Structures are given as C-alpha cells and as structure tokens.
Structure 1
Amino acid sequence: MLLALLLCRPNGLVPVELMMDALWDGGPPKTARKNVHVYISALRKLLEDVGAGGRLVRRGSGYLLLVGDGELDALRFRSLARAGREASGHGALASAARLLKEALKLWSGPSLPELRNSRTISAEAERLGTRFLQVYEEWAEVELRLGNAREVAETIDDLMELHPQRERLRAAHMNALFQLGRQTEAFAVYEEYRQFLAAEFGLGPSPVLEAQYRSMLV
C-alpha cells in the first residue's frame, strides 16, 4: 500500500502524515510514525534487491519515489495525453486522435482495485480514473471532428452507464449517433440525461448541450 501511494504521486513528495492516513485509514496507532519508517526501510531494501536502490528519497517531512517517464503507465499516459492535446490545439487532428488513443490503451480497468479499502488510496484511484475519463472525452471529440463516429458509438456505452452525470460523454454520444444517421437514438440520449438530472439534482442540461440538441432538431 505504501508503494502504491508513492507511485500514485511519482517524483512528488508524499508526506508521512498522508502515509499514515493511507495505511491506517485515519486511525493510526501511537507507533504509526515509527512503523512508517520501518516500512520505508523495508521498501528501500526491496528496491535495492531489484537494482533500483537510491530511488526512494527523504525530503523534509516526507518521501518521494524517483520514476522515469517510460517506467510507469500513469506517467506515460500523462505524457501521451499532453502530446495529444498539443496536437489538437495545433489542428493536427489525426495525430491527436492517435496519441490520445495510445494513452487510453494503457488502461485495463479501475486503478488499484485491491487497495480501495483505504480511503486515501481510493481517492488517488478516483483521481486517476477522472483523468482517464477526461482523455476519453477529448479523444471522442477529436474523432468526431474527423468524422469517425462509429468507434465512438461502439465504445461509449459502458462509460456512460458508469458515469451518467458526465455531460461531455452524453454530448459525444449524441454527436456520434447523429453523425451515423441514428437521430432517434441521439434524441433519446438527451432525453434520458434530462430526466436523470431532474430526478437526481433538480436541474436541466447545460445551455451548451441544449443548444446542441436543438441544432439536431432543425
């Protein structure tokens, strides 16, 4: 769990207090700080055994684990996503779609499922999951600008079921269906979302999504 926490924040300082929260879920024993140092020593020994000694560094009130961009999927994901956004910003849509899709392929399911009994680790995993959703939405929007609606329509359903509140997913799904000539299904996606928002939050769709819907009615 300690290694997972350090890898959730690669090359970044992880305070000892946060380690204590992760390991004992907000209820650390009196010996918690001493135990953390024991665990750090054990982790250093494991890293040395695999030829990775010197990576776990003490800095002030915490520790950081030194990791290269090509050694951790989360770092490679971030690098590819950044490159994809830059390509999109420069109008290189085909390159952007390729880079964003390459980032998405690094994911094989929810992050750290076996460690989510810790609220701290669960929060880190949720943060990673949110990044994945953002990149998927960016990829879908680029593909739709390229006119490649079919793959978006074929991959978006499961994500919408898991995250029904995300409006960008709904918008991308509507656009994909509309581009494929499936107008009735596109309208149904909007209506389902409108009813969901009204029932759960007493709200309606944003003006942007409503305008998108009305443009499809013309």
Structure 2
Amino acid sequence: MVLFKEWIKLRGWLLLLLLGHAVFAAYLFLSLRHQFRVEHPEMLFYQAGRIGRLFYDDLRYLPLASGLLLGLAQFLPEMTKGRLRLALHLPVGLGRMILSHLAVGLGALGLLLGLDLVALGLSVGTFFPAPFVSSALTTALPWMLAGVAGYLGMALILLEPERRFQVVNALVAGGVVWLCHLSPRFGAYDHALPGLALLVALMVPAALLPARRFRDGGV
C-alpha cells in the first residue's frame, strides 16, 4: 500500500524529470559532436587524456538537483499535510514504512541516474576510444552519489521535527555532497568510490532517527 501511494505521488514528477534528463542526454551528444566538428579529434583526445579536460562537465550538478527535487516532492507533502502522522496509524512498522518511502524515491532517482550514465557512456563511446568510456563513468559516479546524498539529505531534513536536528542533518548532508564534489579532476575518486558509497548508504538507516522522533512527539 505504501509503495503504491508513493508511486502515485511521484510519477508525475518522475515523468517531468525523465523528460528533462532525456533533453540533457541529447544536448550532451550534440555538444560532443559539435566539438569534433570544429576541432581535430587528435587535439580533443590529447585534451581529454593528457590535460584531463571534461567534455561532460555540464552533467556534474544534474543528479544533485534531481535528488533534491525528488526528496522535496516526496517528503514535503508528508510533513506539511500531516500525511506521515496518519500513515503512522497503519498496521506497518515505522522502519518498514520509512524504508518503503525511501525505496520508491531511490528507485525513481536510480532510473534517472541510470539514464545519465547510459547517455554519458554512449556519447563518449561514439566519439572517443573505449578506455575513455570507463574513465568517464568512474569520474561521473561521485556526481551520482551526490544526487543520492541530496535525496537522502532532503528526507533527513524534512522528516526531522526539531529545528536543531534539522540544522545538524543539513550540515551532515551538505558535507557528504561536498565530499562528492570535492575534486573536479579527471578520475580523482577512482580509489575512494567504495568508501564514498558506504558513507552515502549510511544515510538510509539514519533517516529512521528523525522519523522515530516525529512519531514519539514531534510537532
């Protein structure tokens, strides 16, 4: 029941975001094609391989923006319209209910991020040799994690009934996002991705804490 309710609530937003990401995918491909039309391929290969120029840098903040928007669209109505308080009376445990909410949101966000990675891989693979594709994907993965952290951070903030903890949650989430964008260099996170992914994953169980405070007397 919870999964279906969340899907109904988010499907319109997901459709709009899918359209936006599809438009960006087309822009990314056309932008790379334009670069190869106005410059010699050898020069572009040198810039990408030796200098570390990112021809797909416009993708950097798209996952974060999408994660924040999805989190806002999913959890703001729950808190401002009292839906979460009503849902607490359902014969479903608190942990299961919150994790069901997060599963739907993360599933929707995962679809968007998957589209971004496929578009990036196809665009880079069309114009650059194969080794550039894997390096582009690993370079973009921290940006994807930033999108997940943004979504979970929005959930942490909006589920929290106490202002002081909202500030703490915002600082923690902002710190994780900052780590994901700490270095703009090509392949800078190749050896740090597992640790960064674990840090983002820890934000999932952390969302149960503000939900429990809300259930136990938050306003």
- The answer to which structure has the higher strand fraction is 1
Larger radius of gyration: 1
Q: State whether TM-score is above 0.5.
A: no
Greater RCO between the two (CA within 8 Å, min separation 6)? 2
**Please, what TM-score do these two structures have when normalized by structure 1?**
0.30
**Please, what TM-score do these two structures have when normalized by structure 2?**
0.30
